[in-house]
Amino acid sequence: MIETEPGPGRPRLAKAGKVLSAMSTAALWLAGAGLVLMTIIVGWQVFTRYVLNWSNAWTEPAALLLMSWFIFLGAAVGIRENYHLGFDVLLYVVPRKAKLVLRAISDVVVVGFAIGMIVYGMELTVLGWNARMPSIGIPDGVKYLPLVGGGVLIVLFSVERFVLRLAGVSVDKGIDLEEIPSEDAVREA
């Protein structure tokens, strides 16, 4: 829900913004579906264990795998919607120009870490490819794929913020505007 209208003079930015916006919505809904599926899987585990009295070995690793995707997708969307927890005190007191520079540095730092997620996530995936997860029989390396997927989305969304900020679009709401981050604080709740 960030301001992604770079104005009429920048059609290419606007187009990219639309694509990224669709990706972000898709990621959020996928993560939501993951949460629902996690509920069903663990619910099934409880049901089979306590009612039918047999236990599934696959439910725990499957739920954990889903949780990894859910976290990284949700975290990537958090970059775009700007709802990550941060320590914003200094940003309230420095002048607006400095604020923009500090925000830009933050984005670069985030991109750096996300690139690490992609590179080392792939390495870990490859390293673990020949081992099998004990109970569900799929390659152990699969569990590092969310790291790669989340990393790619975080890079895309951070670069978008960086570019939009350069173009003069306000992407750091809540800090530019007022003391009380009313809407998003309530929405988070």
Partner 1 sequence: MESIILFGTLTVLMLIGTPIAFCLGVAALMTVLYMGLPPLVIFQRLNSGMSVFTLLAIPFFIYAGDLMVRGGIAQRIVSFAGSMIGHLRGGLGQVNIAASTLFGGISGSAVAEAAAVGGLMIPQMKDRGYGADYAVNVTSMAALIALLLPPSHNMIIYSIAGGGRISIADLFTAGIIPGLMFAGALMITAYFVARKRGYPVDAFPGFRQVLHLGAVAIPGLLLIAIIFGGVRSGVFTATESSCIAVLYAILVTVTVYRSMGWRQFVDATLGAVRTTAMVLLIIGTAAGFSWLMAYLRIPAQLVDWLQSVSDNPIVILLLLNLILLLLGTFMDMGPMIIITTPIFLPVALAYGIDPVHFGVIMILNLGIGLNTPPVGAVQFVACAVGKISVWQAMRSIWPFYFAGLAVLGLVTYVPAFSLWLPALFRGG
Tell me the one-letter amino acid at 106: S
Q: Which is nearer to partner 1, 15 or 176 (CB)?
A: 176
Residue nearer to partner 1 on the CB measure, 10 or 181: 181
Closer to partner 1 by Cβ: residue 5 or 88: 88
Closest CB 180 distance from partner 1, rounded Å: 5
Q: Quick one: 113 or 129, whose CB is closer to partner 1? A: 113
Give the tokens for residue 47. 């049901």
Whether the Cβ atoms of residue 157 and residue 171 lie closer than 8 Å to each other:
no
DSSP string, the chain: -------TT-HHHHHHHHHHHHHHHHHHHHHHHHHHHHHHHHHHHHIIIIII----SSHHHHHHHHHHHHHHHHHHHHHHHT------HHHHHS-HHHHHHHHHHHHHHHHHHHHHHHHHHHHHHHHTSSSB-TTT-SBGGGGGHHHHHHHHHHHHHHHHHHHHHHTT----TTTSS-S--HHHHHHH-
Identity of the residue, 9 or 87, whose beta carbon is nearer to partner 1 in the bound complex = 87
Smallest gap from Cβ 49 to partner 1, in A, equals 8
Chain residues binding partner 1 by CB under 8 A are: 28-29, 31-32, 35-36, 38-39, 42-43, 45-46, 50, 60, 63-64, 67-68, 70-75, 77-79, 81, 83-92, 102-103, 105-106, 109-110, 112-113, 116-117, 120-121, 123-124, 143-144, 147, 175, 179-183, 185-189
> Whole-number minimum distance, CB 186 to partner 1, in Å?
6
Q: How far is the CB of 5 from partner 1 (least distance, A)?
A: 22
- For the bound state, the minimum distance from the C-beta of residue 35 to partner 1, rounded and expressed in Å, comes to 6
